[in-house]
Amino acid sequence: MPIYEYKCSKCKRPFSVLQKTGTTEKDTVCPDCGSNAVKKLLSAFSCSAAGGDAFIPSASGRACGGG
């Protein structure tokens, strides 16, 4: 499953969630305030911790680590 980056429009906090492909903002709520007024920022690459099919981009110097 890919990790998606969202930002809450209510408390302005960014967060990332592990979701199935096709999940929309409506299906996502802010883990901090519980609001569903969230905005999808971009899709990040899933780390090896997320599953066995991690994709490591060769052009990127940093795939996992932030957190």
- List contacts with Zn ion (CB under 5 A): 8, 10-11, 30, 32-33, 35
SS3 per-residue string spanning 2-67: CEEEEEECCCCCEEEEECCCCCCHHHCCCCCCCCCCEEEEEEECCCHHHCCCCCCCCCCCCCCCCC
In the bound state with Zn ion, the residue whose beta carbon lies nearer, of 17 and 30, is 30
For residue 15, the minimal CB distance to Zn ion (Å) is: 8
For residue 34, the minimal CB distance to Zn ion (Å) is: 7
For residue 47, the minimal CB distance to Zn ion (Å) is: 24
